[in-house]
């Protein structure tokens, strides 16, 4: 499939994603049932995953959204700024951070540090995808959907210059 100037091919099917999301949802249910966890979806890429994951959770829960922007231009600082904040009290809450993909780990490293300062009861990190070969920041992901090679992917919420978020499968950049 072509998106803008690039060609992509299927990597993970909608069925495989569905199975994995159900399994993670079941594990989270075991861990957090009766604890009213707060799912925190990182916008924009994680909104599709978060929507499926919280419906795979069998128990009461809440959801919040946060939009982060990372300034990758300034390599040394690697600062991350919260653009759209959480309008929720985090003190004493069980937080389940839902991310689409962990690449260098910069985004989640800084965001979890920020969250820790709000004194939550616990923090669990869930990422649909991770690229272990690209990781540069120390973060521990509690649940990973799929580990993938260090290649650019789109679909299931992830975009290439705005397009591709609505694709049900995950596609990877094709070597042409
Ligand atoms: P990190 O802070 O871990 O380096 O980057 C995480 C963010 O980079 C993800 O939330 C996502 O927005 C973006 N990203 C990293 N790798 C990919 C990729 O292969 N495809 C897309 N669409 N976005 C990616």
107 lines ligand 1 (CB under 6 A): yes
pLDDT for residue 13 = 98
Read off the tokens for 111. 């965001």
pLDDT for residue 138 = 87
Q: What is the CATH number of the domain that holds 164?
A: 3.40.50.2020
pLDDT for residue 162 = 94
Residue 30 buriedness (CB in 10 A; 0-12 / 13-18 / 19+): exposed
pLDDT for residue 134 = 94
pLDDT for residue 87 = 79
User: How far apart are the C-alpha atoms of 115 and 84, rounded to whole Å?
Assistant: 14
**Which atom in ligand 1 lies closest to the alpha carbon of residue 135?**
3
Residues catalogued as catalytic? 103
> Could you list the residue range(s) of the whole structural domain that residue 21 is in?
2-27+36-70+80-173
The domain tally of the chain equals 1
pLDDT along the chain (176 residues), means of 10: 96 98 98 97 95 98 86 49 75 97 92 92 98 93 97 97 97 90
Q: Is 31 helix (H, G, I), strand (E, B) or coil?
A: helix
Is the separation of the CB atoms in 142 and 130 below 8 Å? no
Residue 147 lies in a domain: yes
**Which atom in ligand 1 lies closest to the alpha carbon of residue 152?**
19
Residue 116 lies in a domain: yes
Residue 144 lies in a domain: yes
Residue 75 lies in a domain: no
Model confidence, pTM: 0.93
Residue 155 lies in a domain: yes
pLDDT for residue 76 = 41
Residue 164 lies in a domain: yes
pLDDT for residue 70 = 52
103 lines ligand 1 (CB under 6 A): yes
Residue 148 lies in a domain: yes
């Amino acid at each position: 499939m072509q998106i803008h100037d690039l060609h992509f091919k299927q990597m993970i099917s909608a069925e495989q994603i569905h199975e994995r999301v159900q399994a993670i949802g079941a594990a989270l249910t075991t861990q957090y049932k009766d604890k009213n966890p707060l799912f925190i979806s990182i916008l924009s890429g994680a909104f599709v995953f978060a929507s499926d994951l919280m419906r795979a959770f069998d128990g009461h829960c809440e959801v919040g959204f946060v939009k982060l922007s990372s300034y990758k231009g300034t390599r040394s600082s690697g600062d991350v700024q919260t653009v759209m904040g959480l309008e929720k009290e985090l003190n004493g809450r069980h937080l389940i951070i839902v991310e689409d993909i962990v690449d260098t780990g910069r985004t989640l490293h800084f965001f979890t540090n920020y969250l820790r300062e709000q004194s939550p009861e616990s923090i669990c990190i869930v990422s649909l995808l991770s690229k272990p070969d690209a990781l540069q920041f120390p973060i521990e992901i509690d649940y990973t959907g799929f580990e993938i090679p260090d290649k650019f992917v789109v679909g299931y919420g992830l975009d290439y210059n705005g397009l591709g978020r609505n694709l049900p499968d995950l596609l990877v950049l094709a070597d042409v």
